[in-house]
Amino acid sequence: MSGRVLLTGATGFVGRHAVGPLLARGFEVHAATRGTAATPADGVRWHAGVDLLDPGAGAALVRRVAPTHLLHFAWFVEHGAFWQSPENLRWVGASLDLLRAFAESGGRRAVISGTCAEYEWGGGECDERLTPERPATLYGASKLALTRMADAYGRVAGVSFATGRLFLLYGPHETPRRLVPSVVRALLDGEEARCTHGRQLRDFLHVADAADAFVALLASDVEGPVNIASGAPVRLRDVVTTIAEEIGRPDLVRLGAVTPPAGDPDALTANVARLRDEVGWRPRVELRQGLADTIRWWADAQSGAARGVA
Amino acid sequence: MSGRVLLTGATGFVGRHAVGPLLARGFEVHAATRGTAATPADGVRWHAGVDLLDPGAGAALVRRVAPTHLLHFAWFVEHGAFWQSPENLRWVGASLDLLRAFAESGGRRAVISGTCAEYEWGGGECDERLTPERPATLYGASKLALTRMADAYGRVAGVSFATGRLFLLYGPHETPRRLVPSVVRALLDGEEARCTHGRQLRDFLHVADAADAFVALLASDVEGPVNIASGAPVRLRDVVTTIAEEIGRPDLVRLGAVTPPAGDPDALTANVARLRDEVGWRPRVELRQGLADTIRWWADAQSGAARGVA
C-alpha cells in the first residue's frame, strides 16, 4: 500500500483518468467530485456531491478521509471563461483551505494541477528553472499563486509538495469546443473544419498519459513545478491533418480560415527533463494512435447520442 | 468628497493612523475592526466585531458600505508567529473574497498593505522594478500571492490596484516586543537594552507617516507595488543610540550582546522613487523627533499603567 490518496476533481477530464493509475500503484483511492460518483470500482471510495467552494467542505472531507496523499485537480474549468473568471479567486482560497486541512491532519505529500499559463509565453520552450513565471491571465496568476504558497507552506508544515504543469491535452471526455474535439466532430459530421494557419508549435499529450504522469509525480519525492508534457512538439496543422487522414476527410480541412486569438504564441512547448529524468516518466501514447482512439471515442459518443443512449 | 473608503484593520498599528489622513483628504471613512470601535469621530462610521475570516463577512460588509475605495490592512500580525503561521493562508483567501466583493459592488480603487518580505533579501536596496520577488517566508509568499492576484484580477474587473510595501516602522501602539519599544521600555525602566551589533542598515518610517503615505497612494492612480519607506537608511545601532540619548541612559545600551537571527540581512532598505516621484509623497517626521515622541508615548503609557488607568 502506497498510502491513502484524496483525489479531487475525480470526474473531471484529467482526474477521471487518474483513478486507474492510482490503483495500479497500490493507493487506496478516495475520489471526490461535486457531481455524482462514477461507476464503482474495487479500491475506490467515492465522495460525491462535495463542493470544495462551500466553506469548511474541504476540511470536513479531509477529516473523513485522513489521507496521506493529495492529488488536487478540482478547479473552475468552463471553456473560454476560465481564463479570466473571478471563480479563480474562490478556487485559490478553497485550495489553500484544503491544503491546510491536509497538512494539519498529517498529510505527507501533495500534488496540484498547474498550468503552462503560469509561465511567460513567447519564449518558446518552457523550462521550470529558467522560464520567467509571469502569467498573462487571471487563471495563470491564480495557479501560480497557489504553487508558490503551497511551496512555502509545505516547507513550514512538513508536506512535500509539487505542481504538475499541464500543456495541451487531448483524449476522451474533452470539452467539445476545444481544438481536437471540434475538428473531430466536424469531420465525423461531414462538415468543414475551419482552423487558423496551424503553424503554431505546441506540446500535445494524451489525457491518460497526463493522468499517469501526475500519479508518477505523486509517488515520487520530486518537489516544485514539473512540466507534464510529451516533450515532442508538433504544429497544430499536423494535428489537424492527422485527424483528417484518420477520418478520411482531408478535403474538409480549411487551414487559414480563422484568425488566431490575440496573444496566441508561435511556440508553446515544454522542456520535460524533470519529468523524464527526476520523476522517471515517459509518455506511452503515440500521437497518431492517441488521435485515432480519440476519434473512435467521439464516433461512439455521437452514435450513442444519435441512438439516444449517451 | 474623494469617495467612500472601507478601511480594514482600522484599530491596528498602521490602520488606526490612517483615519486622520483619510478624513483630511475628504474621504467618508468606514472603519472596520474585529474588536471594538475606537473613539467616535466626525465622518467616521465604525463597523466593529467584523472578523473577515468568517465566511461571507467581507462580502456582507462590502454590501453594507458600498465603498468606492478599499484600504486593506487587516491581517494576522502576532509578533514572531506571523512569519510562518498557516493563518497567512486564511488571510489570502479572506482578502481575495473581500476584493471580489469590492469589485462586484462597483469599487474603483484598492490598496493593500504589503511588505518588504515580498522581495528577495540580501541585495540591499529593494526596487519595485528590479529586485526579484522571491520571499523567504510564508508571510512574504502570501502577501506576494495577494499582490499578484489582485493585480491580475484588477485588470479583469476594472479595479485600479496598488500594494504599499512596508519596511520597518516605529511609533505609538507598536507591539511591545519589537526593537524600538523594547529598547525604549527597558531604558525607561532603568534596565539594560541588550541588542545585536547594530550594524544592520534599515529603513525606518514613523507609523503616522506610513499611514499618510498609504492614503496618498490610495488617492493617486499609481498601480502595482510601491515601497512605503523613508528612503533614509540608518544603522540599527544609530536608532538605539538616539533612543538612549533622548532618554539620557546611553550607559544601559549593550550592543553585541545578542546574536542576530539567522537570515538577518546586512542591508534591507527601500528605493522610494515611485513613492516620491509618482505618488508625490515625502516623509514629514524626522527620525530623532519621531523617536522622542514615541518615547514620550511609552512613558505616558507606562505611568498610566502604573496608575492603573492605561
The pLDDT of residue B306 is above 70: no
Within chain B, where are the H helices? 15-24, 57-65, 87-104, 138-157, 179-188, 207-219, 236-247, 273, 287-306
The predicted structure's pLDDT at residue A308: 60
Nearest CA-CA distance, residue B220 and chain A, Å: 24
The predicted structure's pLDDT at residue A310: 43
Report yes or no: A126 and A227 within 8 Å, Cβ to Cβ. Answer: yes
Span A270-277, mean pLDDT? Answer: 98
Q: What is the pLDDT of residues B172-190, one digit of tens each?
A: 999 999 999 999 999 999 9
Q: Which residues in chain A are closer than 8 Å to B94, comparing Cβ atoms?
A: 93
The residue of chain B with its CA nearest to that of A137 is B152
Of A284, A301, A289, A292, whose CA–CA distance to A244 is shortest? A292
Backbone torsions φ then ψ of A151, nearest 5 degrees = -65, -50
Mutation target to probe the B interface, by most B beta carbons within 10 A, among A53, A91, A142, A149 is: A149
Span B138-151, mean pLDDT? Answer: 97
The predicted structure's pLDDT at residue B307: 62
Q: What is the pLDDT of residues A49-83, one digit of tens each?
A: 999 999 999 999 999 999 999 999 999 999 989 99
**What's the whole-number average pLDDT of chain B?**
95
CB nearest to A100's CB, from B89, B135, B155: B89
The predicted structure's pLDDT at residue A31: 97
Q: What is the pLDDT of residues B244-264, one digit of tens each?
A: 999 999 999 999 999 998 889
The residue of chain A with its CA nearest to that of B137 is A152
The predicted structure's pLDDT at residue A307: 62
The pLDDT of residue B310 is above 60: no
Instruction: Say if the Cβ atoms of B97 and A89 lie within 8 Å.
Output: yes
The predicted structure's pLDDT at residue A10: 97
The predicted structure's pLDDT at residue B241: 97
Q: What is the pLDDT of residues A108-146, one digit of tens each?
A: 999 999 999 999 998 889 999 999 999 999 999 999 999
**What's the whole-number average pLDDT of chain A?**
95
Q: What domains are defined for chain B?
A: 3-169+204-228 (3.40.50.720), 172-203+232-270+285-306 (3.90.25.10)
The pLDDT of residue A241 is above 50: yes
The predicted structure's pLDDT at residue A124: 85
Beta partners for residue A253, in sequence order: A193
Write the CA distances from A15 to A9, A22, A73, A208, B131, integer angstroms: 6, 11, 6, 9, 39
Cα end-to-end span (Å), chain A: 36
The pLDDT of residue B41 is above 90: no
Report yes or no: B91 and A96 within 8 Å, Cβ to Cβ. Answer: no
The pLDDT of residue B157 is above 90: yes
The pLDDT of residue B1 is above 60: no
Instruction: Say if the Cβ atoms of A89 and B104 lie within 8 Å.
Output: no
The pLDDT of residue B303 is above 90: no
The predicted structure's pLDDT at residue B308: 59
How far is the C-alpha of B87 from the C-alpha of A35, rounded, in Å?
30
The predicted structure's pLDDT at residue B304: 75
Residues 6+ apart with CB under 8 A from B24: B215
Q: Which residues in chain B are closer than 8 Å to A99, comparing Cβ atoms?
A: 89
Span A268-294, mean pLDDT? Answer: 97
CB nearest to A86's CB, from B86, B148, B153: B153
Nearest CA-CA distance, residue B105 and chain A, Å: 13
Q: Which three-class secondary structure string do you get for A110-178? A: EEEEEEHHHCCCCCEEECCCCCCCCCCCHHHHHHHHHHHHHHHHHHHHCCEEEEEEECEEECCCCCCCC
Can you give the pTM of this predicted structure? 0.93
The predicted structure's pLDDT at residue B83: 94
The percent of residues above 90 in pLDDT, for chain A, comes to 90
The residue of chain A with its CA nearest to that of B99 is A89
Within chain A, where are the H helices? 19-24, 57-65, 87-104, 138-157, 179-188, 207-219, 236-247, 273, 287-306
Instruction: Say if the Cβ atoms of A86 and B157 lie within 8 Å.
Output: yes
- DSSP class of residue B135 equals -
For the question of an ipTM over 0.95, the answer is no
Cα A46 from chain centroid (whole Å)? 20
Of B240, B108, B223, whose CA–CA distance to B179 is shortest? B240
Span B131-145, mean pLDDT? Answer: 97
The pLDDT of residue A1 is above 60: no
What confidence tier does A275 reach under pLDDT thresholds 50, 70, 90?
very high
The residue of chain B with its CA nearest to that of A138 is B152
Mutation target to probe the A interface, by most A beta carbons within 10 A, among B83, B112, B138 is: B138
How far is the C-alpha of A9 from the C-alpha of A34, rounded, in Å?
8
The predicted structure's pLDDT at residue B277: 98
Minimum mean pLDDT range among A1-15, B3-17, B104-118: A1-15
The residue of chain B with its CA nearest to that of A144 is B145
Q: What is the pLDDT of residues B43-64, one digit of tens each?
A: 899 999 999 999 999 999 999 9
Minimum mean pLDDT range among A39-43, A162-166, A269-273, A299-303: A39-43
